[in-house]
Amino acid sequence: MGIMEAVKNGFGKAFKLMNVILVFFVFNTIIGLIGLPLSNPARTGEPGMIAISIASSILFFLIFVFLQGGAMGLAKDQIKTGASSMANFLSYVKKFYLRILGLLFLYVLIAIGIVLVLSLLTAGVLLLGDNIITRSLVAAIVTIIAIVAITMLVYPIYVVVVEDTSTLDAFRKGLKTAKNNFKNTLGLFMTLFLISLVISLIAGFIAGLIMVPLSPNLGQILIAVVNAAVQAYIPVVMILGFMGFYMSLSKGAEKTSQESAI
């Protein structure tokens, strides 16, 4: 499967998972509306608001992981068989929840390690002189490392769902898959990212025009709802795109292995 075929696969099958998109939309809308008072500049420094913000962030993260397992399980069914049933959503959640949660915690540890290394590296570069050249160099280094890290960590979560394997085995196989297919994986990620960015900008522009005659409060609610819709649709597209791409890579690797054995 090529990059554009994977992109087409993502957008073409997304509306077949409309129930999943609706679940994400409701979840994102709740987060957005709850976040409005928490983002009030006049109250952001209050200890109570900080505690509520931290607690809600942790809760929303756990719920997101909960939804992720169900969505990815249905995406696999949709690509593999051409059909999926929302009745299987909770069974996939139960099946993959802890393994996906383990992967995400592993990602957090990796991110912390990368941040520490980048902090030392950028500090060393800035010792050469704090000017526009060194700052541009630091920005370039951070961007490149971030993109490489994201690309390398794309597949483990798909390995868990497709291969039904353990967290560590999925992590190792995912890294190997990304390494062996780095160029195409990066190409798919950047293509989906740019398309998502364009969709977000268009939706934001339209919402901005609509909110002109509205009161500030209604305008904030409208933006929250629009963002919820975009952030419900785009992740499902990306899940389907990468799911189809990984499954084609996995199938190709299996075929190659069988041919080698013969």
Give burial (CB, 10 Å; 0-12/13-18/19+) of 167: buried
Q: How far apart are CA 138 and CA 127, in angstroms?
A: 12
**Range in 76-85, 109-118, 213-222, 224-233 with the lowest mean pLDDT:** 213-222
- Structure tokens that stand for 74 in this block: 């249905």
The string of pLDDT tens digits covering residues 159-201 is 999 999 999 999 999 999 999 999 999 999 999 999 999 998 8
pLDDT band, residue 12 (cuts 50/70/90): confident
* Mean pLDDT across the chain: 84
Q: Are 74 and 89 a contacting pair, CB within 8 Å? A: yes
DSSP 84: -
Residue scoring higher pLDDT (132 or 247): 247
The string of pLDDT tens digits covering residues 205-228 is 888 888 777 777 788 888 888 888
Q: Among residues 76, 74, 100, which one has the least CA distance to residue 242?
A: 76
Is residue 233 pLDDT above 70, yes or no? Answer: yes
Give burial (CB, 10 Å; 0-12/13-18/19+) of 169: middle
Could you tell me where the DSSP H helices lie in the chain?
Answer: 3-14, 18-38, 47-81, 89-127, 132-152, 156-163, 167-180, 182-210, 216-261
pLDDT score for 42: 60
Mapped onto helix, strand or coil, the DSSP state of residue 87 is helix
The string of pLDDT tens digits covering residues 123-142 is 776 676 667 777 787 788 88
Maximum Cα interatomic distance, the chain, rounded to a whole number of Å:
71
Mapped onto helix, strand or coil, the DSSP state of residue 211 is coil
Q: Are 168 and 217 a contacting pair, CB within 8 Å? A: no
Q: Among residues 199, 190, 185, which one has the least CA distance to residue 231?
A: 199
DSSP 165: -
Q: How far apart are CA 249 and CA 230, in angstroms?
A: 28
